């Protein structure tokens, strides 16, 4: 699949999961969606609708291109077979006599491109050298037979692979947005400073004590939080020849990696902001691997949020190693305390979503909290959070290309965007857990 199309599908799936999460939470609490939840859902639905239209258009183009390529290849093979083995008026390939010109180095060929290079340059294999020569000659005859790319190699002049080999490229792995997706999502409102009024002491009421006596006047207090969106960007200068000749498109691969890193950086900003927030609740768990300490510590963290004005917590966050530590917990008869979906509850304190796996944003529940893991969280740290009281916003990363920044031979490819995280609106919505043994 086209890397860009794949990324758009991932974004659509993330939005779909987020919208479903809002509905599931409301259904679980037997209530309607709040005004803020409705706004978030509508904004995410609008974004998902836009992505769906784009995905349909791109998928249609990909399908059509594949059909055209297949028809073209079939026509060329038929044409070549009727020319009695000749190619462009010249001789047959210098390799095996029964090999079509377009099939010199295919996935199913009996000989490989790189092995032929070794045989020709190190072992003096003339047949391997002949196949390489035929492979190179194809580019000069017709664009339809273009099997090599006009790029250089640091390990051997002219050693340029067939176009299908880059398909084996292994992209950089990204964790992307994990904890960030479980906070209140606000549409991005621009790169200028955001100003948010935060209620301190609200206007209050009194219970009547004496008939005919007015209540005492009360005045609310408020503070102002100002947050400046952080820019996240990156670029690389790429050979123009590579961009224009590469297949699959080099810029699509580069953008995919940089956009993945863009979301990784945004996730890191979220964790750093939560970690740096002052006046939060704190809990220490002496040993995260021992019952009842591991469970009691999480319960204390939940109570700290609820009892100190932070609302009802919604999320437990920690490293994957911390979550798997809880998954391993068992009672004295070795029964698991966190069960898979496929088993009965018994004495469980949580649920591991085995059918979703560790690649999902929400990986299960712990004491009725959603569980999200993030590699950015410190090894000895965990968080219990009321995600509705923390605000996260991110812009769609802009993919840019600048020609001739450093001369005509290179093109600058990069991404640019912004993220905002507001944790100070209600610090007591956060409990920091410190594990003293991990």
pLDDT tens string 197-210: 777 777 888 887 78
What is the domain range of residue 386?
Answer: 173-200+220-435
In a domain, 78, yes or no: no
The partner residues of 281 in beta bridges, in order of sequence, read 431
pLDDT tens for 33-43 read: 888 888 888 88
Average pLDDT over residues 183-192: 90
Total residues found in the chain within this entry: 438
**Same domain? 344 vs 426:** yes
In a domain, 212, yes or no: no
Q: Is 166 helix (H, G, I), strand (E, B) or coil?
A: helix
Residue that is last in its domain, among 21, 38, 70: 70
In a domain, 214, yes or no: no
Residue 83, judged by CB atoms within 10 A of its CB (0-12, 13-18, 19+), counts as exposed
Structure tokens at 384: 């219990």
Q: Please state, in angstroms and rounded to a whole number, the distance separating the CA atoms of residues 242 and 166.
A: 12
Supply the CATH number for residue 390's domain. Answer: 3.30.2320.10
**Same domain? 406 vs 324:** yes
Whether the pLDDT of residue 307 is over 90: the answer is: yes
pLDDT tens for 68-93 read: 665 565 455 445 544 444 433 333 44
Structure tokens at 340: 């898979």
**Same domain? 353 vs 277:** yes
Structure tokens at 234: 């990156």
**Same domain? 130 vs 182:** no
**Same domain? 272 vs 387:** yes
**Same domain? 123 vs 185:** no
Q: Please state, in angstroms and rounded to a whole number, the distance separating the CA atoms of residues 165 and 157.
A: 18
Helix (H) or strand (E) holding 45: helix 35-81
**Domain count within the chain:** 3
pLDDT band at 107 (very low <50, low <70, confident <90, very high): low
Whether the pLDDT of residue 342 is over 70: the answer is: no
**Same domain? 184 vs 48:** no
Whether the pLDDT of residue 282 is over 50: the answer is: yes
pTM over 0.85: no
pLDDT tens for 146-161 read: 333 334 444 444 455 5
**Same domain? 46 vs 104:** no
pLDDT given for residue 214 in this prediction:
83
Average pLDDT over residues 396-401: 84
């Amino acid at each position: 699949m086209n890397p860009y199309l794949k990324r758009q599908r991932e974004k659509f799936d993330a939005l779909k999961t987020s919208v479903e999460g809002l509905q599931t939470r409301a259904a679980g609490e037997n209530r309607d969606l709040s005004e803020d939840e409705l706004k978030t859902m509508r904004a995410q639905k609008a974004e998902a609708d836009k992505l769906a239209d784009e995905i349909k258009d791109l998928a249609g183009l990909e399908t059509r291109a594949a059909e055209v390529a297949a028809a073209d290849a079939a026509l060329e093979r038929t044409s070549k077979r009727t020319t009695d083995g000749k190619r462009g008026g010249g001789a047959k390939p210098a390799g095996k006599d029964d090999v079509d010109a377009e099939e010199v180095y295919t996935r199913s060929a009996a000989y490989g491109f790189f092995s032929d290079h070794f045989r020709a340059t190190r072992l003096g294999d003339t047949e391997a050298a002949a196949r390489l020569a035929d492979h190179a000659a194809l580019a000069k005859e017709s664009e339809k037979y273009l099997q090599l790319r006009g790029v250089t190699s640091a390990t051997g002049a002219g050693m340029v692979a067939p176009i299908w080999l880059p398909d084996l490229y292994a992209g950089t792995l990204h964790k992307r947005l994990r904890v960030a997706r479980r906070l209140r999502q606000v549409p991005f409102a621009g790169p200028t400073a955001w100003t948010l009024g935060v209620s301190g002491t609200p206007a209050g009421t009194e219970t009547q004590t004496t008939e005919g006596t007015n209540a005492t006047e009360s005045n609310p207090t408020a503070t102002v939080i100002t947050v400046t969106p952080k820019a996240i960007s990156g670029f690389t200068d790429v050979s123009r020849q590579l961009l224009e000749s590469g297949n699959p498109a080099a810029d699509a691969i580069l953008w995919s990696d940089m956009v993945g890193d863009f979301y990784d950086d945004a996730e890191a900003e979220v964790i750093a902001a939560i970690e740096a927030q002052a006046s939060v609740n704190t809990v220490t768990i002496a040993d995260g691997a021992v019952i009842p300490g591991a469970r009691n510590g999480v319960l204390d963290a939940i109570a700290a949020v609820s009892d100190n004005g932070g609302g009802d917590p919604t999320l437990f966050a920690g490293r994957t190693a911390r979550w798997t530590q809880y998954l391993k917990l068992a009672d004295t008869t070795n029964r698991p305390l966190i069960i898979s979906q496929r088993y009965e509850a018994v004495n469980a304190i949580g649920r591991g979503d085995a059918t979703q796996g560790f690649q999902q944003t929400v990986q299960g529940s712990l004491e009725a909290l959603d569980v999200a893991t993030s590699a950015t969280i410190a090894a000895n740290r965990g968080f219990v959070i009321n995600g509705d009281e923390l605000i996260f916003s991110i812009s769609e990363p802009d993919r840019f290309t600048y020609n001739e920044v450093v001369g005509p031979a290179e093109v600058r490819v990069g991404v640019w965007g912004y993220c905002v995280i507001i944790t100070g609106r209600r610090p007591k919505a956060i409990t920091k857990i410190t594990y003293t043994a991990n």
